[in-house]
Structure 1
Amino acid sequence: MRRRRVGGSGLEVSQIGLGTMTWGVSTDVDAATNQLTAFVDAGGTLVETAESYGNGVAQQMLGEVLSTAVRREDVVIAGRGGVPGGPLGEGSARGALLDGLDSMLERLGTDHIDLWQLPFFDARVPVEETLSAVQVAVYSGKTRYAGLVGPAGWQLATVAERGRMLGGVAVPVAAQAEYSLLCRGPERELLPAALHHGIGLLAWAPLGRGVLTGKYVDGTPADSRGASPGLAPYVEARRTEHATRIVHAVLTAADGLGTSPLSVALAWVRDQPGVAAAIVGARDAAQLTASMAADQLVLPAEIRAALDDVSDPR
């Protein structure tokens, strides 16, 4: 699998990342082990995890797999920790952030993560205080780089500029946001800001929460996320009339190229300007292997233009 630099930083990641949202929920430790083993064997490096996934179970499972089946040095962990409330404050207060980072490291069973993703932009806390937590984490060796999750364009730009005033160590190298043919919102503000400041986008849900694979065209498969009580609302939000037109365009493109709609949708996101990696989740190793096959597909210019047109949010 090919690798890319994250924005203008020295951090390199596989251009397809493995998300762990279902780990500890619908993916047990054996399935997780098979997924991560197949991913690394194929050249994948970027693994995304968060405290909210299974209430911390996903991070514990990742730590277990890294201690038994996959070497820690073979993966780049992009970790998003929770921000617990308490005597040290909450939100993006320095004490709460560093406490949350320590808890995440304990769950993962490691002494550092490669990319610490701050959970949100907190207007109640001075930006300089939040960035000072990043400085402490970098200087102490607990993280190598930092990023933001779901910022608006102006928020990302503000953090980048303030970070440079503090010497550059705390400047985010990545921003994580939902981005797909069904969700092109980042193109309004976030991607232009990221490109301007040399920050790479980590695109989550690049398959439109599974809708772009075409599996929901004729109904809801019993083994799909759309049939799961916990994840059905997550999928339904992308099953619209506008989405149906886009899905049919993806199916047509896949048929013409002799590939899968999954590969077409994933390749479109992966090669958008400013995208460092597209993060995919999987039910099992076989489904993950199908996603990794998209690594070799490059969409012809005319097909990319047609998909741009049919998915234009305007």
Structure 2
Amino acid sequence: MSSKFAFHAGERAVQSRAGEAMIADRNFAVMSDTVLPGARTFIEKQSMVAVACVDAAGKSWASLIFGKPGFLSTPNGTSIRIALTSNQREPSDPVWEHLHIDSRLGLLFIELGTRRRYRVNGTVTSIDEAAVEVAIAEAYPNCPKYIQRRHLRSQHELATHPAQKAGQALTASLADVIRQADTLFIASNHVEGHLDASHRGGAPGFIAFINNDTLRIPDYQGNSLFNTLGNLHLNPQCGLVIPDFAGNQLLHLNGRAVLHWDIADEAGLSGGTHRFWDFHIDAWRLRELPLSLEWEYLDASPFNPSVAI
């Protein structure tokens, strides 16, 4: 592992508990503070980026930001430019609501149609009417597992102002969105490390209901870095965003996570790890997107474990 980068105490604790510290050290060799040349072209092709931010109260929020290909760029590989004008930034999006100079951001560039993804963590250095600049602290590729392939066939701006709702207790319609979901993104952070935007996917139903305000998500086998679980080990506060691809809306959830190890799992819901985390919901926000997005579902990840019937 490069001396320039280091795991924080939470990541190390989880890696050791999982017995994967040596694998983590080996996989950490891909870490850099510069985007690889091949990944620069990949980033510039994207129409979507998952974003993690923190508000003034220290709460993490996850969101998805969309734009025409080219709105994301990294000309020199040391910074990310998000070229959305102030009029294109939806004020109800928690990212735009809480963004300021020196904000820490976690960025996950993910191309659902090819299952490619690339992660960047950094700090906002500039915000103006035309764009946001993010200085890169960490950049590295992620594995393609558990991503359901979708192709974004078209997008165009809506003529009407998008609606939003908010609350604390889940409604029946929100529960339906969660039950049908095969994709979510989680924002987690700790003061010892960088803000992290991470993907979780599985067959519809992989997000289970414990009760009306608690969800249970399996932790499948990944790259052994345990960035997300390491953050949650030290700071359980986190945020989720669940895309409703058919309804053209995003469900933001804010709450606290509790990690569970060595859970009996006869049905194989965790894919053999016996790890789960419960998400206790404190608040939700449902937002219609300011763009009309038409998605074509292609296929599910061949790595998805089974779900409870």
> TM-score, with normalisation over the residues of structure 1?
0.27
Higher helix share: 1
Higher strand share: 2
> TM-score, with normalisation over the residues of structure 2?
0.27
